[in-house]
Amino acid sequence: MARKRDSKLTAARQIIKRHGAKRGPSVGAVDPEFRTDGGLPASGGTGDKDLREETKEGNALGAYVVEWGYDVPESNWSAFHTWLAENEVRLARTVPPGVHYKGTVVAVFGPLNRPDGRYRTFWALDSTSCIESFWLEGKSEFKTLVAALVAFRQRGDCCENGFSQLYQVAAGAPTYTSGRGRRS
């Protein structure tokens, strides 16, 4: 037993000799690096008050707006437009509380092959917590309709997964300087 242990110890020493001693851990100053495209954290502000009722009535876009960008294969354009014509009202009526379907649009003027896709679907939210409840509190009919809408998205080279962006009404959003995340 002792012989086996000694041979393992000898083997470990030989490995250390061959590769040299490892440096001990060290700590240095860290320069923070932003890896996003400069998004601002969403938080409630003064300008988003009283928008819920106006959003429900269609007079306002919403305190928060989610944009989905994607493309649909040209061979499916007609089927997608037909599906939208038949299902947009149902989609709008089955949304979870605090979520409002604002519509799906297609770019009819501009570059033919947009890297971010030519279709956009917009959702208005009463608060950022509605993002979390989008799937959790949605009715099964709503989830089925969203799944059908998303199934039309083009997969592959262009807009592989599409994109999503969250906007906040400017009057209610905090402002920031462009320097390393400091508030203004």
Q: Tens digits of per-residue pLDDT, 144-154? A: 999 999 999 88
Sequence-ordered alpha helix ranges (H) in 20-139: 51-56, 77-93, 129-136
Name 135's Cβ contacts closer than 8 Å, sequence gap at least 6: 143
What pLDDT is attached to residue 147? 92
49-106 residue pLDDT tens: 555 565 555 556 667 888 999 989 989 999 999 999 999 999 999 999 888 899 999 9
124: closest CA among 50, 62, 169, 67? Answer: 62
Q: DSSP of 131-164, one letter per residue?
A: HHHHHHTS-HHHHHHHHHHHHTS--SSTTSS-EE
pLDDT at residue 76 in the model: 94
User: Any idea what DSSP says for residue 58?
Assistant: T
For 61-172, CATH number?
A: 3.30.70.100
- Which residue, among 40, 37, 35, has the nearest Cα to 181 in the 3D structure? 40
How many beta carbons lie within 10 A of that of residue 64, not counting itself? Answer: 26
Three-class SS state of 85: helix
Q: What's the maximum distance between 2 C-alpha atoms anywhere in the chain?
A: 85
Q: How confident is the model at residue 48 (pLDDT cuts 50, 70, 90)?
A: low
Q: What is the DSSP letter of 113?
A: S
C-alpha distances in Å from residue 68, one per residue of 35, 43, 60: 21, 21, 19
**Percentage with pLDDT > 90 across the chain:** 24
CA–CA separation, 128 vs 139, rounded Å?
19
pLDDT the model gives residue 81 = 95
> Where along the chain do its domains lie?
61-172
Cβ neighbors of 90 (< 8 A, separation 6 or more) are: 141, 145
